Structure 1
Amino acid sequence: MKYCYKVPCKKEMLKEIRCFVKEVLEKHGLSEVDVSTLVLAIDEVCANLIIHSHCCNPKESIEVEINVDKDKGLIFNIIDKAEIFNINEYQEPTLEDIIKKQRKGGIGLILVKKIMDDIQIYSDKKKHICRLVKKIPIN
């Protein structure tokens, strides 16, 4: 089963994205912990795109696509047209560096990489897709 949600690139839309993802996952019987964890990961990727890649420009948009497959698990496609950022090439700071430099960020992408089983980046001339896969039993 496939679900899609397209929103303008405004920070206020992050709440709507979280609600959409939560609603879809709850519909398929995932535990509260699994739902919360996956919502966190999707929210982090969408927030980074909206804030950093699109500079909160409401004339631009991102699309969240959720594919629920009993055999493959959950496949989240986050689709946009901004300059691509490859999360797989992201060099994770150590916790000591974050604390020492008193950074206010840097942990979100670490969490995404730990939560998801696979992360793939696809790109063509018209769009970019960040595919996040979670192999989890689905009802």
Structure 2
Amino acid sequence: MLYNYKASCSTDKLQEIRQFIDDLLRQHGLSDVESHKVVLAVDEVCANLIIHSHGCDANESIEISVEFKADKTTVFEIKDHGEAFNMAQYKEPSLSDIIRTKKKGGIGLMLVNRIMDKIEFYQSNGYNVCRLTKDFKKQ
């Protein structure tokens, strides 16, 4: 089954996005623990796009699609027209450096990497796409 959601690039919309994802995951029988982890991962990607790619410009938007596949794999795609993220240039931060420097932030994508089974960034049909895949049969 495929579900779609579109939100303006305002941080006020993050709660609605989290609720949309949580509702879908619960409808498909995920436990509270698994649902919360996946909601965190999707929320982190959406927040990064809204804040860093769109500068919280509510006139712009992101599109989220969620596909539940028969093999218990779920694919989340977040599409936008903002500044593209280059995963090849991403270097995972050291937790000890973050703690030592008391840096606020910087661990979001690291969390996403640990929660999801696969992360892809690419461009398609004029969109930047972040595809997150989670295999729930492993749970």
- TM-score class, shorter: over 0.9
SS in structure 2 at match of 1:3: strand
Which position in structure 1 is the counterpart of 2:122? 122
Which position in structure 2 is the counterpart of 1:18? 18
Rate the CA distance shift 1:85–1:79 in 2: closer, same or farther, 3 A: same
Displacement of 1:115 in angstroms is 0.6
Question: Percent same amino acid among aligned pairs?
Answer: 50
Which position in structure 1 is the counterpart of 2:108? 108
Q: Give the aligned CA root-mean-square deviation in angstroms.
A: 1.2
- Whole-angstrom CA distance in 2 between matches of 1:121 and 1:112: 13
- Whole-angstrom CA distance in 1 between matches of 2:124 and 2:87: 17
> Could you state the TM-score of these two structures normalised by the residue count of structure 1?
0.94
SS in structure 1 at match of 2:4: strand
Tell me, yes or no, if the aligned pair for 1:87 and 1:109 is still in contact at 8 Å.
Answer: no
Aligned length: 137
Tell me, yes or no, if the aligned pair for 1:63 and 1:79 is still in contact at 8 Å.
Answer: yes
- Could you list the structure 1 runs, at least 4 aligned residues long, displaced by more than 2 angstroms after superposition: 86-89
Which position in structure 2 is the counterpart of 1:44? 44
- Whole-angstrom CA distance in 1 between matches of 2:132 and 2:125: 21
SS in structure 1 at match of 2:97: helix
> Could you state the TM-score of these two structures normalised by the residue count of structure 2?
0.94
What is the letter of the counterpart of residue 75 of structure 2?
A: I
Displacement of 1:88 in angstroms is 5.4
- Whole-angstrom CA distance in 1 between matches of 2:84 and 2:73: 25
- Whole-angstrom CA distance in 2 between matches of 1:70 and 1:4: 18
- Whole-angstrom CA distance in 1 between matches of 2:88 and 2:61: 23
Q: Which moved more, 1:71-80 or 1:18-27?
A: 71-80
- Whole-angstrom CA distance in 2 between matches of 1:5 and 1:72: 21
In the alignment, structure 1 residue 98 sits paired with structure 2 residue 98: yes
Which position in structure 2 is the counterpart of 1:86? 86
Q: Could you list the runs of 5+ residues in structure 2 that have no partner in the other structure?
A: none
Query: Relative to total residues, which structure has the larger helix share, 1 or 2?
Result: 2
Displacement of 1:93 in angstroms is 1.0
